[in-house]
Amino acid sequence: MKYYLIAGEASGDLHGSNLMRSIKNRDEEADFRFLGGDLMQAQGGVLVKHYREMAYMGIIPVIRHADKIWANMKSCKKDIVRYRPDVVILIDYPGFNLQIAKFVKKHLDIPVHYYISPKVWAWKEYRVKSFKKYV
């Protein structure tokens, strides 16, 4: 099976690497393509973009790097279309990943799963409806 994973920060890289290890134990033909980090890369597959090139915390850094964030999102969408995975797995990183989930739901017939979903208390409660709709 072909798996596309997106982890946009260090903790997601750790959880993603553990998930990949688990998947490989059950699916010997697992093929991974991902946005993540060194730990995920150590599990094998193709690292499309390192999370250090994508992770911005706080409103000022996000505004300052908005063009880069949008370029990363556009690039990720194109990569998913080209790769045609059997499943997309999102790991935390809600601002970015929910946009990817919307895109995949609208344009592709690929299941989307959230592994380590955003915490409602740390996120926006009203976004839960969007989360349910696209994931």
Q: What is the CATH number of the domain that holds 108?
A: 3.40.50.2000
118 confidence band (pLDDT: 50, 70, 90)? low
pLDDT confidence of 97, banded at 50, 70, 90?
very high
Q: Write out the residue range of the structural domain in which residue 125 sits.
A: 2-134
Q: Are 47 and 41 in contact (CB under 8 A)?
A: yes
Report pLDDT for 86. Answer: 98
Question: How many percent of the chain have pLDDT more than 70?
Answer: 83
Mean pLDDT, rounded, for 70-78: 95
Total domain count, the chain: 1
Specify the pTM: 0.87
